[in-house]
């Protein structure tokens, strides 16, 4: 190679470098315009810490999502326990003739209750409105799921209200029945593949109810009742509701030893009352059910309205309108609700996002509805032979239709928020 050719090489190399430097930005710019990664769905990107899905939306989707979020946020901030009962001329969605699930003792109009004003009230929270029960919406929310009510006759009261409400749009098939007084039942709503069941368990924990020569109940507060516990893994949503059976005489066991008793003058036990036992039973139950992303609703204590009168006294609960705003929770109602609310909050604080657990806090709402009980109409036409000196009254359970329907109107809102 000649000296002249060698002198020209540096110049050629400079030109080549210049050309490369010019075309690299152009190539990168074209690559951005035709990014092969732009087709990746943003929904596949996840925050590995929070496990939250990151989703991209069009502007219209974004507006709808923000509106839904704002509505959900407003509802979650609304305290539905503060409010008043107001007149509602629309009346109930069903009646004692259209629903065949109503227990005879709660079918008040059919049993001759002369007034119907108790049917025309609705609960109005101070900060929001509770929509009228939407049976189609409820069945959509529970599609392909099993909803179980577990507890005493108040759980059954709420369950029968729900079955009546759902029956207005879809006929259920009773697929299982066992136990006297329909204590264990299961329905199927084939239209939505929904199962609804009820399990009689007045203590939630294991126990023996008084019968025959045994004048007291026996409770084992450290384990749940197997009658529903054995089926627990098949439940998607559980509603638990107990309380009044804890007032009866009982002997309590824990870890194989006798803890004490309640109203047990004839027994060789230490009197310890029932409030702490009630707390232990709720705690044992929530520990068992509030896991595996199962939805758990605890319906709080339902007040009675005997109000110091004997259960067989004439006019024990014959009111025809609710209490006004001056009525407040006190005594037994206040303490039972307090225990339940504390135990629910304790589980939520301990497990956080692991659990879907809420209290359906109906105690303050229901204490106002002195007019909603069957009273003497727990039996058919109790005064057809005149007015007796004594008459049996039910001032504990609720007429159907009646105030208990409101519990289910609130419950559907709880379920809807879990589905958002």
Active site residues: 153, 394, 397
Could you tell me if 196 and 163 are in contact, meaning their C-beta atoms sit under 8 angstroms apart?
yes
Of 6, 65, 68, 42, which is closest to residue 417 (Cα–Cα)? 68
Encoded tokens for 247:
């007032």
Whether the Cβ atoms of residue 340 and residue 246 lie closer than 8 Å to each other: no
- Are 363 and 329 spatial neighbours (Cβ–Cβ below 8 Å)? yes
What CA–CA distance (Å, rounded) separates 246 from 356?
26
Tell how strand 295-299 and strand 237-241 pair up. Answer: parallel
* Per-position b or e across 244-277, b if 16+ CB within 10 A of its CB: bbbeebbbbbbeeeebbbbebeebebeeeebeeb
For tokens 């450290």, name the residue.
222
| CA dist., res. 363 & res. 360, Å (int) | 9
Task: Judge whether 212 and 159 are in contact, CB under 8 Å.
Answer: no
Non-local CB neighbours of 358 within 8 Å, separated by 6+ positions = 296, 297, 298, 344, 414
SS3 76: helix
> Nearest 5°: CA angle at 343, between 340 and 345?
110
The terminus-to-terminus CA distance of the chain in angstroms comes to 79
Residue 138 burial (C-beta neighbours within 10 Å; 0-12, 13-18, 19+): buried
Burial of 341 (0-12, 13-18, 19+ CB in 10 A): middle
């Amino acid at each position: 190679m000649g000296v002249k050719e060698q002198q020209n090489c540096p110049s050629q190399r400079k030109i080549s470098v210049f050309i490369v430097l010019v075309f690299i930005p152009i190539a990168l710019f074209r690559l951005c315009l035709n990014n092969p990664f732009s087709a990746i769905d943003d929904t596949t990107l996840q925050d590995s810490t929070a496990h939250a899905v990151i989703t991209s939306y069009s502007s219209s989707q974004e507006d709808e999502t923000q509106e839904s979020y704002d509505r959900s946020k407003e509802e979650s901030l609304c305290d539905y326990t503060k409010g008043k009962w107001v007149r509602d001329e629309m009346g109930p969605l069903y009646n004692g003739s259209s629903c065949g699930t109503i227990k005879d003792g709660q079918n008040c109009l059919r049993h001759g209750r002369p007034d119907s004003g108790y049917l025309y009230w609705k609960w109005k929270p101070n900060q929001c409105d509770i929509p009228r029960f939407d049976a189609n919406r409820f069945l959509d929310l529970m599609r392909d799921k099993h909803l179980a009510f577990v507890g005493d006759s108040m759980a059954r009261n709420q369950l029968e209200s729900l079955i009546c409400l759902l029956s207005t749009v879809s006929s259920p098939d009773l697929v299982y029945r066992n136990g006297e007084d329909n204590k264990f039942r299961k329905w199927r709503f084939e239209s939505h593949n929904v199962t609804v069941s009820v399990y009689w368990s007045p203590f939630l924990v294991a126990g023996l109810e008084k019968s025959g020569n045994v004048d007291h109940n026996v409770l084992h507060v450290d384990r749940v009742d197997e009658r529903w516990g054995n089926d627990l893994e098949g439940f998607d949503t559980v509603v638990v509701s107990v309380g009044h059976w804890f007032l009866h005489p009982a002997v309590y066991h824990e870890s194989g030893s006798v803890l004490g008793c309640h109203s047990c003058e004839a027994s060789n036990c230490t009197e310890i009352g029932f409030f702490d036992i009630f707390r232990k039973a709720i705690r044992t139950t929530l520990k068992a059910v509030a896991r595996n992303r199962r939805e758990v609703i605890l319906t709080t204590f339902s007040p009675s309205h005997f109000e110091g009168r004997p259960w067989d006294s004439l006019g024990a609960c014959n009111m025809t309108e609710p209490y006004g705003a001056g009525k407040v929770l006190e005594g037994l109602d206040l303490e039972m609700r307090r225990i339940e609310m504390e135990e629910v909050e304790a589980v939520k604080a301990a497990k956080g996002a692991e659990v879907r657990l809420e209290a359906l806090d109906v105690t303050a709402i229901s204490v106002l509805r002195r007019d909603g009980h069957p009273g003497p109409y727990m039996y058919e036409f109790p005064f057809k032979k005149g007015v007796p000196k004594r008459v049996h009254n039910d001032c504990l359970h609720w007429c159907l239709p009646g105030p208990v329907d409101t519990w289910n109107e609130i419950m559907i809102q709880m379920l809807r928020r879990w589905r958002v």
